[in-house]
Copies of this chain bind each other. A is one copy, B any other.
Amino acid sequence: EEDGGGQAPAAEAAGFVASTVPEIEMLLGASEEYAASIPRGASNPFADVLYGVPISAPKLARIDALLHKFGGGAQIHVLIDHPSQLEICERYVERSRMSHDMARGGGTVSPDTSPYFTAFLKLDAGYHRAGVPPAQSGLELATKLMTSKSVKLRGVYTHCGHSYNATTAAELDDIARDDLDTSRKFLRDLTRHMQSIGWGEYANLRVPRLILSVGSTPSLFHHRRSSSPSGGGGGSDDDDDDDGDTANLELHPGNYALFDRQQIHLGSCRHESDVAGTILAAVIGHYPDRNTILLDAGALALSKDSTPQGGTCSIAGREDLVCLSTSQEVTVVGMKCNRPDGGGTFPFDDFPLGSKVRLLPNHSCLSAACFDRYHVVDEDEEALLLASADDGGGKKKLEDVEVVDTWTPARGW
């Protein structure tokens, strides 16, 4: 998912964004392994996870169960973009404290009244999927979060998913700058709003400590450019100048770890070899009458997601071919360009029945979610593969490449 997997450079902000509860559980499991390998007290990014979907009551109960399972070292932050979600958290904490008091004999107030859950406020910075607008309703919700006895506000979160519709680098520069400007301006507005209702001193102390979590994979490399003096002009920042402070800044480019065909199109990466997640498929059909072949990977392996450059996926190293259609279990591959006279013959000899091809998915997040294990291949093997492809194949067969590890993903939600 576009929101997933962000890990920030600053020590305080380091952590992960998860899109599902099983992902959180996997990360917290990893945090225990990781903790054993680092000095006591050192920062552990695996133990600091934001659940990046607006919180609901059933998910909150599952998150609380994970907090209990993994103990005091684990932090799971919830995402809030509506007052009712804060009420869900507050009711949950109230009931927990009551049942805790009951268990202790009842009657007395529990001494532990410090905030129980930590939260990010989701702001809508123009993508219009989730998020409260960075206007009056957003300021009121943020103030409620800042003053809640059950929830501690840790930061504000935006996802500029509209970057996926950008067609030029200049547009991405603008989106990256607006994304960050929206959050910075919101925090200034929040301080003023809280000052106006008598919480000024508290706001002065707490607001500067909030984390700004912004970004998307397509806009990732456009933040540096737009934060330079020459690139920063003409922004939406309508009063103060930014000081460029990035102490509490966190970027969350969820697709960065794998990339895919869409990211090549968007310029997030350049080459097929930048795409780290590919699907091994077998050739199972030859159709000389219509110059196509059939592969045994379909929508169950690739998803049906599309990308502007067309094709349902692509075969690594074969820019002359196009994946014409993908149904549930199979994909039809044809030639990208027939000869001007309408002739031309599919290079069947390069793809004997039973041979393997490596497919680049349109959207690696959805394609990765189709599988219950990933085979990890060494970078040198990868280079060898590409060299083979450049030479027309044959040096080393795909199925002979050494698998150095097997990873098991979190599944479900």
**Residues in chain A within 8 A of chain B (CB atoms):** 1-2, 19-20, 53-58, 81-82, 84-85, 88, 124, 128-133, 135, 137, 161, 282, 284-290, 292, 294, 296, 298-301, 303-306, 325, 327-330, 332, 353-354, 365-366, 369, 372, 412-413
State the Cβ distance, A352 to closest chain B Cβ, in Å. 8
Closest to A286 in B: B82
Q: How far apart sit A85 and B287, CA to CA, in the bound complex (Å)? A: 13
Q: Which residues of the partner chain B approach A85 to less than 8 Å between Cβ atoms?
A: 353
Q: How far apart sit A288 and B128, CA to CA, in the bound complex (Å)? A: 11
Q: How far apart sit A327 and B288, CA to CA, in the bound complex (Å)? A: 38
Q: Which residues of the partner chain B approach A289 to less than 8 Å between Cβ atoms?
A: 124, 132-133, 135, 137
Q: How far apart sit A412 and B369, CA to CA, in the bound complex (Å)? A: 12
Given A53-B330, A58-B282, A332-B129: A299 touches B366 (CB 8 Å cut-off): yes
Copies of this chain, whole number: 2
Q: How far apart sit A306 and B132, CA to CA, in the bound complex (Å)? A: 29
Asked whether B330 lies within 8 Å of A130 as measured between CB atoms, the reply is: yes
Q: How far apart sit A85 and B137, CA to CA, in the bound complex (Å)? A: 65
Closest to A412 in B: B372
State the Cβ distance, A289 to closest chain B Cβ, in Å. 5
Q: Contact partner of A20 among B53, B325, B329, B372, CB < 8 A?
A: B329
Q: Which residues of the partner chain B approach A135 to less than 8 Å between Cβ atoms?
A: 289
Q: Contact partner of A128 among B292, B328, B330, CB < 8 A?
A: B292
Q: Contact partner of A53 among B81, B329, B365, CB < 8 A?
A: B329
Asked whether B19 lies within 8 Å of A328 as measured between CB atoms, the reply is: yes
Q: Contact partner of A286 among B84, B128, B369, CB < 8 A?
A: B84
Q: Which residues of the partner chain B approach A82 to less than 8 Å between Cβ atoms?
A: 285-286, 353
Asked whether B303 lies within 8 Å of A19 as measured between CB atoms, the reply is: no
Asked whether B137 lies within 8 Å of A329 as measured between CB atoms, the reply is: no
Asked whether A129 lies within 8 Å of B366 as measured between CB atoms, the reply is: no
Given A82-B353, A299-B305, A353-B85: A56 touches B328 (CB 8 Å cut-off): no
The 16 sampled A-B contact pairs (Cβ below 8 Å) are A1-B298, A20-B329, A53-B296, A53-B329, A58-B282, A81-B285, A84-B286, A124-B287, A130-B294, A133-B289, A137-B288, A299-B366, A300-B413, A301-B413, A304-B366, A328-B369
Closest to A128 in B: B290
State the Cβ distance, A47 to closest chain B Cβ, in Å. 23
